[in-house]
Structure 1
């Protein structure tokens, strides 16, 4: 077990890899929605999708991007040239795409193959305060690139029977990367996802996880929530799709916990100006004839009181 305290930033940007070697545990949902909540707290945030499934990208309405993370990893295109603006002014997204499927093979023959993403992030300097990386649900060169680039890992964990076994394996991986490739790397925290307190097994697993990992486990639980499941099909994070939903409230609380951990001392600021911004998700929607008017404000306080579209909780 990693007994070190959760790290706090000594530099900008602070890079967090959202990782779990098991799929279907709310990893991408957490990356997508935590990024939105951090950005809504007026912290310039970059979400990098390195999962070939590209679900984090499509969750922001980004598909078939001309430039994507593949171009940064393989061709050394600057990340800011691959980034999309979003409906949240302080959030940019570097998408994944089909080309990323073959990137694992292409990376094998490249120099410094484990550090390609780290080098790309270093090249953008202090443009962002926080970078979240959505990792594939496997331990290959793409995940390894994320771990060598990161200051810390955030682990979404579903409260199920084999959770502790998988978590132990992941902690071993983090320790190995820390020892061999990235001495900064530590566990930022563990977030319990798809939580259902009515389930006896879920309560038992949660108690065991908290018993083993103590304050590494966030107080906030992410519940099972219909709105969380619906939001990606609308190309929006839950914060914009339904701010009043239980899922949105949970991710806002998780962002608050993370920001308290990081104890950022800098004042909120504007994000960098992208040199060649790709078409934003809402521009693409306009071209397609979308009719729903979306919130124009960006901070959590304003979104909760100034929403032009309201969905009822299910």
Structure 2
């Protein structure tokens, strides 16, 4: 891998958001975790958008066309090029953007060797950021799995539904069978998201998860339009900065995200 000389930063925390199912709110949670990392006014955050849909990149840049830029961005990590993070519309948050051609790396043997090399996590920690937040695609492949090798914490959002729990358990199985030997210090937490606790089946699944996984499952985040409204502002903002959001909701999201970045 061709890299510039970097100095490993022991304080850099790498957080990957993942589930083997689309729709549990990975991008929304990644966006909020990035902003939670800024609670210290001197913090610097880098987001890696590994999803070829590039939705996180669009929210952070307020630019729908950013995914059309198929050179540079997060692809540099797999190309062996020196990464060049770009500024976003959010002060102190930089980005290695995702784009619509990222799928090509999943079948690239050279990219796989780079992704699983010991140089990769050292390279990321040497970029000078306090937090690195990684949004992943739902499909199992290089961009889904290799970040687990780089990370300190894996966050698994899931909806209280059979498919959500199945995707959650699949991630844990991968961690146990394939990643733990490569990255034994990796921690994980689950986040129940988009829950409607007035629905009996969802309450039952929430209870089942907590019975089986205990305090590894953080506070349940309910389905609220205020979260989507905050994300759709221009520029997008975390729900705790959205005036139209109920205080309880603002406090809940801020607490959960702060708990994750402080682990």
Residue 73 of structure 1 and its aligned partner are, at CA, apart by 1.5
**Partner of 1:21: helix, strand, or coil?**
coil
The runs of at least 4 consecutive aligned structure 1 residues that moved more than 6 Å come to none
Alpha-carbon distance in structure 2 between the residues aligned to 1:144 and 1:201 = 31
Alpha-carbon distance in structure 2 between the residues aligned to 1:154 and 1:55 = 18
The reply on whether 1:144 has 2:145 as its aligned counterpart is yes
The reply on whether 1:77 has 2:81 as its aligned counterpart is yes
CA RMSD, aligned part only? Answer: 2.5
CA contact (8 A) 1:18 1:155 kept: yes
The reply on whether 1:45 has 2:45 as its aligned counterpart is yes
Residue 146 of structure 1 and its aligned partner are, at CA, apart by 1.0
Residue 24 of structure 1 and its aligned partner are, at CA, apart by 0.5
Residue 92 of structure 1 and its aligned partner are, at CA, apart by 1.4
**1:45–1:244 CA distance, 2 compared to 1 (3 A):** farther
Alpha-carbon distance in structure 2 between the residues aligned to 1:197 and 1:111 = 42
CA contact (8 A) 1:34 1:254 kept: no
Residue 15 of structure 1 and its aligned partner are, at CA, apart by 0.9
For residues 1-314 of structure 1, the aligned pairs below 5 Å read 11-42=10-41, 43-60=43-60, 61-62=62-63, 63=66, 64-65=68-69, 67-74=72-79, 76-79=80-83, 81=84, 83-105=85-107, 107-110=108-111, 112-115=113-116, 119-124=119-124, 125=126, 127-187=128-188, 189-219=189-219, 221-230=220-229, 231-232=231-232, 234-239=234-239, 242-246=242-246, 248-259=250-261, 261-262=262-263
Q: How many residues are matched?
A: 245
Residue 110 of structure 1 and its aligned partner are, at CA, apart by 4.3
TM-score normalised by the chain length of structure 1: 0.70
**1:95–1:67 CA distance, 2 compared to 1 (3 A):** same
TM-score normalised by the chain length of structure 2: 0.82
**1:110–1:103 CA distance, 2 compared to 1 (3 A):** closer
Residue 111 of structure 1 and its aligned partner are, at CA, apart by 6.5
What residue ranges of structure 1 are gaps of 5+ in the alignment?
1-9, 263-314
